[in-house]
Amino acid sequence: TGTVTIDDKPDYQPVAGDVAIYEATHKEYVYDVFDVLPFRFLIKPVTQEALNIVMKKAFEHFNLTKQVFFFNQNKEHLQVSFDEIVYFEGNLRKVRLVTTEAEYDFYGKISDVMKQLDGNLFLQIHNSYIVNMSQIRKISDSAVVLKLGATLPISKKYREEVRQKHIQYMAWRCE
Q: Residue 93: what pLDDT?
A: 92
The per-residue pLDDT for 53 is 80
Name the more confident of 78 and 37: 78
With contact defined as beta carbons under 8 Å apart, do 107 and 95 qualify? Answer: yes
Residues 116/69, Cβ–Cβ less than 8 Å: yes
Q: CA–CA separation, 106 vs 132, rounded Å?
A: 18
Residue among 43, 49, 50 nearest 24 (CA):
43
Do you find a cis peptide bond into 14, omega within 30 degrees of 0? no
- pTM as predicted: 0.66
81-125 residue pLDDT tens: 898 999 999 999 999 999 999 999 999 999 999 999 988 889 999
The residues, ordered by sequence, that sit 6+ positions from 105 with a Cβ below 8 Å of its Cβ are 73, 94, 95, 96, 97
Contact assessment for residue 22 and residue 54, using Cβ atoms and an 8 Å cutoff: no
27: left (phi over 0), alpha (psi -120 to 50) or beta: alpha
How do residues 40-56 score in pLDDT, each as one tens digit?
A: 666 778 788 887 887 77
128-139 pLDDT, tens digit per residue, is: 999 999 999 999
Contact 18, 1 (CB under 8 A): yes
